[in-house]
A = this chain, B = another copy of it.
Amino acid sequence: MNIELINTGSELLLGRVLNTHQQWLCRQLADRGYVVTRQVAVADTGADIQQAVREALGRADLIITTGGLGPTSDDITRDLIAQLLGCPLHEDAGMVAHIEQFFAGRHRVMPPSTRVQAMIPAGAVILPNPNGTAPGLAMTVAPNAFRGAGRRSLLVMLPGPPRELRPMFTDSVVPLVTREFPLADEFVCRTLKTTGIGESVVEETVAGPLKALTDTGLELGYCARTGEVDLRFVAHGMKGAALVAEAATISRRLLGAAVYGEGDDQIESVLVQLLTARGETLAVAESCTGGFVANRITNVPGASAVFLAGLVTYSNAAKQTFLGVREETLAAHGAVSEAVAREMAEGARQRTGATYALATTGIAGPTGGTPGKPVGTVFLALAGPRGTSVLARVNRYERETFKFVTAQQGLDLVRREAGGGK
């Protein structure tokens, strides 16, 4: 099966925005057994969009376009595709009513230009948009001038805003695609998320013991990102689910606490769940990570049940005022030291009453390194009911990656101490 994704928008080709649609849609499709063959981005000008769609219609079973369904002058995808396919547009009364209700519900006047979004190409199926005014559209193109006789293509047009595109994809496009293109085989996909070990270690640990399974059809995939490695299992057919389940069980046993979750889990969400279940609380005292640990934790809905406070004590004075770090310790060891990390964690734990307190102090760079403590040097301390432990690391990355990796190490330290992965 051939799937092509066409992202329209001049701002993509001017490099003003990141194409997050590509990753999100490719991931959603791949995890359901539909791998995108090709992704194309073109400007929202007539010739470019029509050329890209025409080429895709000559090759692909499923074509998904994003963007260009709105009410402004550069929203031309719907009109151009209708023109390319020779489908007249007509105003859909139900869509006009939906748009009118959308504005009425928000006590806003409906701009007349918005009405153009109710224009539907003949033969198109409307994909409802509860989060906006532009409906998605799906059209079956068959038989056509673009592909050989008897070959059909499904062409799906989605609106550009992510808060409209994503629920529309999940609620309307997934059922349509699975109905129109049933997989020949059952498809099973599962991803274990690991941290604290490198890609080659993950591979060396599991590849041998899983050989009997890969020989019978299990596919393994490794994806290394900064500070974490995904291990992906894919299998087809009736025995696929059993193969993947066995592979996951073996891998979890071999990788132990390095596995922090599955699928879309993030280490901070796993940690918040873990602490919530245990009725425990957390405080953080950050120097070099500068609030990034607190930020990641507070991105998790419900974090307030377990997260008491973050003290971003960037200056030495703040370390003394808010955490009770002693002037002598700072003078004797310097702010970036095991001793200061320890006092920061213990001070935060004592002053907040949290079950655990995590502290970070290090040299994020690009300046501030010394021969004995190069840029990237970091001390992570964890104070908890069983005492205080300190981890020393050298994270040689540019500033923001340094903060990410250090935060990852810190969150993982708390997760393991709180029994995660056991």
Contacts and interface: CB of A to CB of B under 8 A. Distances in A.
A213 interface: no
Interface string A307-346: 1111111110110011000000000000000000000000
Assembly of this chain: how many copies?
A: 2
Contacts of A301: 365-367, 399
B48 A42 contact: no
Contacts of A29: 15
Contacts of A303: 290, 314
A39 B12 contact: yes
A19 interface: yes
A399 B295 CA distance: 12
A297 interface: yes
Contact of A317 (B230, B308, B318): B308
A380 interface: no
A331 to B, nearest CB: 18
A322 B308 CA distance: 12
Contacts of A318: 308-309, 352
Contacts of A163: 398
Interface stretch (A30-38, A112-120, A143-151): A30-38
Interface string A220-241: 0101010000100000000000
A40 B37 contact: no
Interface string A334-374: 00000000000000000111000000000011110000000
A309 B314 contact: yes
Interface in A281-319: 284, 286, 289-295, 297-299, 301-304, 307-315, 317-318
A52 B40 CA distance: 11
A181 interface: no
Interface in A7-37: 11-20, 22-31, 35-37
A269 B314 CA distance: 17
A400 interface: yes
A403 interface: yes
Contacts of A321: 309, 351-352
B400 A299 contact: yes
Nearest to A282: B314
8 contacts: A15-B27, A15-B30, A39-B41, A290-B303, A291-B312, A299-B399, A299-B403, A310-B312
